Amino acid sequence: MNLFRTGILMAFLTGLFIAVGYLIGGGPGMAIAFLFAAGTNLFAYWNSDKMVLSMYGARAVDETTAPDLVHIVRQLAEADGLPMPKVYIAENDQPNAFATGRSPEHAAVCATSGLLRSVSKEELAGVLAHELSHVKNRDTLTMTIVATVGGAIGMLANFAFFLGGGRRNNPLGFVGVILVSILAPIAAMLVQMAISRSREFEADRSGAVLSGRPLWLASALERIESAAERIENPEAEANPATAHMFIVNPLHGGGLSGLFASHPSTEERIARLKAMATEMGQAPKPGPWD
């Protein structure tokens, strides 16, 4: 159901992009919007991982420089039948993590230094299992495309608002330009956030299955959420379009947080994981990461 819902939302977002192009510039505008969408998606497909890792100053690590982290990633990847992803650490005091890459064969998992200082090995395994589930489900590619198309809609809307955007070809005239400029980016953001929340729930579920201990991830989420509320993430604040990639929202948001949140409620995520643990008949106990 989550995958079907994601497909519907992505189709709606793509249709919105083309519709914005048509309303701004008529038939030619729609064609330009389609070509621009294809070009931006192609660029994002090949370069998004490098761009995001560079934004956060992430450094590659291996068994020599971060043995515990790499060992857990390797065990989980092998258990899930995934190629070994590249592993990175970002020097950031806020506990958090994200995955990126266009496919399981070209994936990277990044943990912040704050995360490595704040959680136990079991909790770290729960977080990494969540991120590898994003990789396996190709959520990293999905969310990159969604973010790119959403950003492109905003660019088209700004073009229409500030430059007029071909009003003579616009079926709705000047009023249409103004309405599209205001409403289209809001609609795109709502769709983007809905897709992100849906994929987070699925990664929680499949990650908990992979680690075999839903409560490991539940405990980690509680710890990360508490720290993220107190500790800022300057790189994320400077690049808010990447916030959806993290396991917990790295931003310190304001009003309408529920409507525009890039992540589901942490309380609801924890409740679902606890329900999974109950169904599996499992209680916390030392695991293979010790």
* Catalytic center residues: 131
Runs of H (alpha helix) within 1-138: 2-55, 67-79, 113-118, 121-136
> If we measure between CA atoms, which residue out of 181, 239, 229 comes closest to residue 57?
239
Residue 108 φ then ψ, to 5°: -140, 140
How far lies 118's CA from each of 15, 220, 228, in Å?
A: 43, 9, 11
Residues 19, 188, 13, 41: is their CA dihedral positive or negative?
positive
Distance CA 30, CA 20 (A): 7
Packed helices 173-211 and 2-55: angle between N→C axes, nearest 10 degrees: 90
Cβ–Cβ under 8 Å, residues 109 and 85: yes
Q: What's the angle, vertex CA 168, arms to CA 158 and CA 162, rounded to 5?
A: 20
